[in-house]
Amino acid sequence: MNELTLIQKISVWAIPVLLAITVHEVAHGWAASKLGDQTAKMLGRLTLNPLKHIDPIGTVIVPLALLLLGGFIFGWAKAVPVTAKNFKNPRRDMAWVAMAGPASNLIMAVGWALIAKLGVILQASSPDIGLFLLYSGLAGISINLILLVLNLLPIPPLDGSHVLSALLPPALAWQYNRIAPFGFVILLVLLISGFLTPILIGPYSYLQHGLYALVGIQ
């Protein structure tokens, strides 16, 4: 997409980024609601209206800055509140709630792959529409796979940490969860030091190639 102007890049990435981040959070709230916690529902967070979920830094500034700098683009929305004490089995159910976010990103990545394929098909008859759908589809695949892989890292408070916490013995899980206040700092250090990209690139590339093969795009 290097040949696109900045305005074209923003138009291509805006919808995929907003959907990826918004649906991810709604999926957490939806799963929590199904498991007995209605906190997100009562606060009006079970909606696809992005205005209810936008975090000025994570949803706007960070993705835009990364778009300008090139490389991986990711972001985040305001976390959907979950009250674990409302679950019958808090440790297990929190793991299911955590997995709902990355699962939604995987489903959306498949959907965007189909849109990219449609773009390829339409390029012969409607090149402008076809190219826009292709680029939007590729952007949708990228942002969703990045959020999927990133959130599965076992670094509190990322989703993967809730899954690991549920698998650990209670005493060890309690010790593990104590690093949660430092999770953002850990991620920031990994990002600035350049270690985050090598951690993400392997599983990201594997999933990306799998989706490209699934819909038959190069």
User: Catalytic residues, which ones?
Assistant: 25
- One-letter amino acid at 166 equals A
Both tokens of 189, joined, read 């250090």
Which residue do the tokens 């826009």 mark? 132
Cα 33 from Cα 25, distance rounded (Å): 13
**Which residues are within 8 A (CB) of 201 and not within 5 positions of it... i.e. 6 or more apart?**
none
Cα 167 from Cα 130, distance rounded (Å): 46
Which residue do the tokens 């408070």 mark? 157
Cα 182 from Cα 193, distance rounded (Å): 16
Q: Is the dihedral of CA 126, 141, 136, 54 positive or negative?
A: positive
Cα 36 from Cα 204, distance rounded (Å): 33
Spatial CA neighbour of 18 closest among 65, 68, 76 = 76
